Amino acid sequence: LAKTTQPISMDSYEGQEVNITCSHNNIATNDYITWYQQFPSQGPRFIIQGYKTKVTNEVASLFIPADRKSSTLSLPRVSLSDTAVYYCLVGDHSNYQLIWGAGTKLIIKP
Amino acid sequence: GAGVSQSPRYKVTKRGQDVALRCDPISGHVSLYWYRQALGQGPEFLTYFNYEAQQDKSGLPNDRFSAERPEGSISTLTIQRTEQRDSAMYRCASSPPRHSASGANVLTFGAGSRLTVL
């Protein structure tokens, strides 16, 4: 299972674009990259998943370079409610035992 | 149901008592996972079910912990002779069937059961 590395914490301000980068040097050919968001007192919630290049949904964008050894979650025009912990995971459909790190604690300031 | 439902939300028990935590996954989700999450940490894998079959229990800390999913839907995580170190948030997640061409498993988590052992 590929291990991921991401910053422990980040600060930003309302209205800014926030980019959180995750390193996964040992990603396997069949692995996808999935990001989750977790608010205090709640379970993690799926945000976005991608394999290569760029994926965009109504919440975020995910940028994946050609070598796939890293990925960047981009949150456009953040608000205070985006304050949460963001987890990056790598695996495929057979990886039920995903490795969860401590995630990135994102704090948005007014 | 509409989401993953866990009960009880909070459980306070005395050391040495047995506890049972229940998880009702999303209808149609064949995969069910149990995790334990300490404050400030990511979820720690405990066990995994595919339908009613417990396919991996390697994350269960010791033999006081067990889980079942007899009919492939509701699951129960049981902790026998609880100890203070068992205090944690226990989270259940479920996911639909995934096939090799359609990406990785996307988990839907419940709100969790907060266990406190006095």
Interface of B with A (CB under 8 A): 4, 31, 33, 35, 40-45, 48, 50, 55-56, 58-59, 91, 93, 98-100, 102-112
Chain A: residue whose CA lies nearest to B46 = A97
Query: Which residue has better confidence, A3 or B89?
Result: B89
Per-residue tens of pLDDT for chain B, all 118 residues: 579 999 999 999 999 999 999 999 999 899 999 999 998 899 999 999 999 999 999 999 999 999 999 999 999 999 999 999 999 999 999 998 776 556 778 899 999 999 999 9
pLDDT greater than 90 at residue A109: yes
Calpha distance B8→B23 (Å, rounded): 9
> Shortest Cα distance from B100 to chain A (angstroms)?
6
H-helix segments, A1-110: none
For A103, the 3-state DSSP assignment is: coil
